[in-house]
Amino acid sequence: MKRLRFLGAAGTVTGSCYFLQTDDKPGVVIDCGMFQGTKEIEALNQQDLKINVESIGAVVLTHAHLDHCGRLPILTKRGYKGPFYMTEASRDLIQIVLFDAVRIAETDPEKTPLYSENDVLSLLDQTEIVDYGQPFHASHYSVLMKDAGHILGSTSLEFTDNQDQSIRKIIFSGDLGNSPQEIVRPTEMFDEADMVIMESTYGGKTHPDDDPDTALLEEINMIEETGGTLLIPSFAIQRTQEILCRIRRLKANARVKAQTPVFLDSPMATKVTSVYTSYPELYNQDFLKSGSVNNFEFSNLHVIQRHSDTKKMRAAKGARVIIAGSGMMSGGRIVRHAAQMLPIKTTRLLMVGYQGDETLGRYITEGVNPVKIAEQMIPIRANVRHVRSMSAHADEPKLLKWLKNIQGVRKVILTHGDIEPREALKQSIIRDIGEKDFVLPMINEEVVL
């Protein structure tokens, strides 16, 4: 008898973690991510991870976002000695992400470290690299990874159990990409399955069609006229790289001035960009044909690495662009820049991603003014613009297209979404594809398959 336990992203978006078990056989953990968001949600990270490591035969990772990989080292801390299967790009990225998580936890008095650097090193030593389309065995399952088109190295997973003809093939969507995207390849489809565990982040929603290139062009042209500063809070993985290559294209086409300086003030994003540069085979065809040896570099790009670089950025006169983390302005270097520059009328703030509840970015986009930064009330005189079309997640039409391609699906389990988007996606599946056996699990719930 198969059982699937939901240890995260069940009734919430973050904390993805599933434990797939079959009687008398070692189980498989799929993802083990950190809860992110409000203080109430983040408090779930401190709860006991209800998995006996002696019952785990393998761990499989879909991708390197913190909400999918951030609790993995807890397993090595508890003594898990087995393999962690993932793509090579994911391994390079989790090394950056997990060491950063350790650093933040150790320096933030409000956070309790979940694990140490040694636990991360143990995980990396136990990593097994898998290529797309290369079957491998995890416990008694044959597993196949396909490109999810979400971020570099992201996967969807197909589990095949030839010993159980009732539920022989199970698909875990992971996070599905918003294809076509600027850099990565399109989402790969599956042909058949008995059961699908599917993300529902944007259930009930369609992404707007506002053009990021147009927004960047207009915002940079405006500061070139006024001599102001354009602040861009950006996620370190993929969003920053997309912004860089879009600005490179605007400069190459002389739509913005070559001499306008762009400062990348994010150590983590700088490391991630180096990883992205290392995997051109994972780029989509249009990106490969764009004609640049390095799509993330251009004239007057300044990467902030030393104190002297920071002094140079602060001393820059006239128009300038500053890209800094974090994307929701919940921490990182963008917060310091915001406190200094949001009160200045010539400053422009361009938000390029989703803004979570109770984050500084959400308050600003909702029009709160002034806002509290580092115990000070900061008035906002800057112009604020929010581009919502750069999501790396598939919206509902693309989620439906992906599921509709899979023949023979009898059971659909909707995860990785808040309660309302999950219910909306369920109703759309019934309307557009047909009635299924649906499960909308909550955290720590176990479902017999």
β-bridge partners, 322: 231, 263
Per-residue pLDDT tens digits for 388-398 = 889 999 999 99
Residues 109 and 225 placed together within one structural domain of the fold: no
Same domain for 402 and 374: no
Mean pLDDT over 304-316 rounds to: 82
pLDDT of res. 134:
97
How many domains does the chain divide into?
2
**Could you say which of 361, 386, 411 is where a domain stops?**
386
pLDDT of residue 293: 59
- pLDDT confidence of residue 328: 94
d(CA 226, CA 347): 9
Specify the pLDDT at position 426: 98
pLDDT at 28 (0 to 100): 98
Same structural domain for residues 348 and 250? yes
The C-alpha angle with vertex 199 and arms to 196 and 204, in degrees rounded to 5, equals 115
Distance CA 133, CA 147 (A): 9
Instruction: Looking at the structure, tell me whether residues 195 and 221 fall in a common domain.
Output: no
* 420/424 Cα distance (integer angstroms): 6
52 and 114 in a common domain: yes
Say if residue 408 is in the same domain as residue 372: no
Whole-number Å distance between alpha carbons of 269 and 235: 8
Q: Which residues of 218-244 are buried (b: 16+ CB within 10 A; e: fewer)?
A: ebbbbbbeeebbbbbbbbbbbbbbbbb
d(CA 256, CA 221): 6
Q: Do 42 and 138 belong to one domain?
A: yes
CATH assignment of the domain containing 298 = 3.40.50.10890
pLDDT of 110 reads 79
Q: Show the domain range for 286.
A: 212-386
pLDDT of residue 292 exceeding 70, the answer is no
What DSSP designation does 423 have?
Answer: H
If asked whether residues 281 and 225 sit together in one domain, one would say yes
